[in-house]
Structure 1
Amino acid sequence: MIIMIGNTTINKLYREKLSRSLLLFAIIPTILVTGVFFQLFFMIINEISDRELTSQNKELSSFLSSEITSYKKEIQALQEDPRLSRVFQTDDVHNDIYKELYQVVTDHQLKSNFYIVDVEGSILLTNAYRDNTAQIYYDKYLTKVNKNQDKDITFYNEKDNHAADFTFLKMTAPIYDGNKVSGFIIFDLQSNQLRRFYENMNYTDIVITDPFGNQLFSSKRSLILDNGKIGVLSKKGYHTVSSSIVKDEFIVHSIRYEGLLQKGFFFGFLGLFVICGLMVIITRLFAISIARKKTKSIDTLLSTIQDVNEGRYKGYHQLEEEDEFETINYYLHDMILSKNLLLSENKEIHIRKTEAEIKQLQMQFNPHFLFNTLENIKFMIRMNPSSAEELLLKLSSILRYSIDNTDQDSPLKDDIKYIYDYLDIQKARFEERLNFSVEIPEELGTTPIPKLIMQPLVENAVKYGIDHVDHLLIKIKASRIGDKLVIMILDTGSGFSQSRLQEIRDLLHTTQNPSNHIGIYNVHRRIQLKYGRSYGVRVFSEENKGSLLLITIPYRKEE
């Protein structure tokens, strides 16, 4: 028994010594080596991070300094350009000034929206989308500008916008006409080009301030206090590198949150030992689980494609996993909807084209129109044979032009000739009660436009205007504005009431036409289906004074 106890004691001592040996010569050294490794690793990571942050701040500061300085030089050069002050007096220089401003923006990596405004806040030139909201905003903004300022460039920051692509800095300079400020040139510097300095940098953000700490741009809203100043310069866990640029007018801060790095050091040290033991098991289980889920996602995608091929597509079905296959599933659904929409629009284009052609034929062979015209010709044969022959030729010309459907587009001058013939026939009937004028620049005569796009609008002007006034005047004018062709049709008829005008405008924003405004709607819908929603017909009218219709289509050179 004593021997057994002795053996047990020896075995116990052996196990303890073995455990101690493993602890002293294996586990503890491993822990120490691992600890030293982690310490060195995170020191190196921290040093690399600091250098990277400094390099990134230097690169960003250099970029901003170069871009802002370049913009300042461009603005100063523009201020000395004598043509700039003429934009408020004549439209002749608008295209040249616009091209020059547009080239300035194009030459810079830091893009901007430019504006030429007068002292009242009216925008004359801009490369931004122009609407009432923008106009009201700039009216409000310009109240802050000193209209008697000298030629120095003034900087304004945009405090109320925190989107990733907002205007973070406004550069404003006066435009002089002699010693008088006639307007301002404004460049709104956009922040979207700053993304590359922080989007690919983990836990790194940038803040740009003025010398007083007021924010101009921040990649993260939480870095800014309620008073608009940067709030992390003295916080623990943040490392900041700052640089002054453009003669100390701006300060660029590159900020990195290092709290996660410190926590990562602690939890990484503890997790290393757990990971080693569980890695094989977890990897195996994870692979089995992922394989099963991925296979199920692929089967669902293949089923969707099969349903599309067989015409049994049931709509979007979200996958169980939010992964790359779900992205493919989403874009597959979007592609199917786009295809269906395209087929639907092509079908509608065909229907609209057919309706327009039928409408044109019906108009040309309208019994009332033909009867009145032929009666006039019959009367004029007795009284004035040469005029009757001319009128008959014009009738023949418009019938031949409208029946010829070989081309969807025609030169502007051909459509204008049709309008001339049509109005000449109507004038022969109504005599001095109807007058018209047409102003078409010679260089626009060969511009292709949708065939007979003006005819329904001119017909409406005569049809609904002549019976309500003693004298009807119709003016037609075409002009090129930038990359757009604008055709104006003005009449001095009875016009529309405000309620009727609003009804017509609401109709033009729909895809279905339940009303009897076929002519205006069909022209507007044909243009939008052909060129997109940026184009179409706009209607202006005042009761008992007349109406103005503006047809806007893309300007194209002769094909």
Structure 2
Amino acid sequence: MGKSFQKKVKQSFFLYALIPALTVLILFSLFTAFLLRLGVVNHNRDANRIVAGRLETIFDAYTGELERLVQNPAVTVYLENGTGETQLYEILYGFNAEREVKCIFYILDDRGIPLISNAWAGYWNKNDTSGFVSFAEKMGRAPQSSVHGIRLRGYQEGQVSLFSFGRAVIQGGRPAGYIVLETLSPGWSAVSADTQAAKTIVTDSFDNVIFTTDELVRDSRGKFNPETDNELFEMNGSQYHMVSSVLPGYGIRVYTISSFITSQTTITQHLLFFLVSCVLIFFVTFRLAGSMSRQNTKSLAKLMEAIREFQRGNLEYKVVLDSDDEFYLLAQEYNHMVQELALLLEKNREVSDLQRVTEIAQLEEQFNPHFIFNVLEMLKYMIYMGTDTETVAGTITRLAGILRYTINRDSPEVRLGDDIVYLEDYLALQKARLDERLEYTVSIEGEIRSCRIPKFIAQPFVENSIKYAYATKEKLTIGLAFKKIGDTLYIYIRDNGEGMTPEKEREIKTIVETSRPGSVHIGIYNVHRRLQLLYGRDYGVAITSAPGVGTEIRITLPYNEQ
């Protein structure tokens, strides 16, 4: 055992402590990364919904204003005779002042030539009709509804996108002129200013970019056409999330694109935190594992050393533990047992002149340190394998009960019920050690537990069944039966071992009947001899065996409750 077992306990504790901690850290990191990416996705979807909603509100406002303007008498009068220009300017400027996204307004004649506008003087020319003729033709083809479209035009130092809203003014069943409201795309910046999208792009149905917060997304033709329909894509070596939506009735598509760079930076920081945490957990767990292994194996090591001293014949060795667990109880029971055993040996020496008493005492006092050693080895294995505390404590309690029962010298006879409890504890410990290869049953007929019997009368035969029958069977079954017939108590020990040949059975019966001890079958002889010394030759042990079937031991003794 020693250091090797301590090392195994240390390794087990280290693994059992480290694996859950690392699992929690890994799950936490993965969950955090998932939440960060999910946050980018959700924020981008919200941004797209906000931008699209704001644009739709702006477009609806311009469309509604066109509906009101074409029905305004001031417009009709101006187109008929050119009067009322001041009033018309007041109406158009008043509408424009209320808009967050401003516009340039035009009144066109029936040929599409601008008559009045609020545009900068150098921005338009009354004699230049190239910019409006095609748009006027479009309005003329749908005189009862508003039309819209995109135009590119030079404006001060650069080229901007103009998104135009137009409507024909009908007089006498035909267009008498047109009203055009043009919004400049730079004025749309406020639409996406307070969203969390990294890029906002607005295109028409032909992918022409009307507005963008990042001019790099335009291709050489001024278009934006993403190569994938997936929400996740790469652009310029970085990962992005893209959401698109269409404004119904306007043919406008709104894209919002958010970068994962920020979330990836946060994930990297979490990864560094995870690695540092792993190192700290590894170091702390390693130190704790060493301390725990030394603490948990200290008591067991002392008990093992006591067993070795006992095997050497040293009855003065005492186990001293400062713990308050089951090992302390086991140590106390062991010390008490050795002390009682030493006293008994001394007493036996004092009464050596009483041969019959001495013989009975010697036969009764059989203590098998190998059984205790095997159980302690089993306990060591259970602790190493991480068996639950309740099972280990139950095993220790059963062993303590066996030791206590062994050293109890109050009377040479005990209650049958007490001896049955001892046998059940003994078989339970063997069952724990041999697992599925051992099964046992205990049958008690009638209220006979108060019967007085010699102590350990059936134990040697149970031990022999395990020792000899177990070696030849994949699964050993032992049955114990206790019953009373008349004034006689019968105890049966049956096993399903290989049994004995007739020659072997006769040999053992000869040893039992002639009361000659044999080196191999000393246990059978001792029990039979003991019963005959106590109760006479009418009682003792009978053996029945059949090759390939098993062996039955029958013990008979007088039924006595006194």
Bin the TM-score by the shorter chain: 0.3 to 0.5
The normalised TM-score by structure 1 is 0.40
- Which of structures 1 and 2 has the bigger CA Rg? 2
The normalised TM-score by structure 2 is 0.39
Choose between structure 1 and 2 for higher RCO, CA contacts under 8 A separated by at least 6 residues: 2
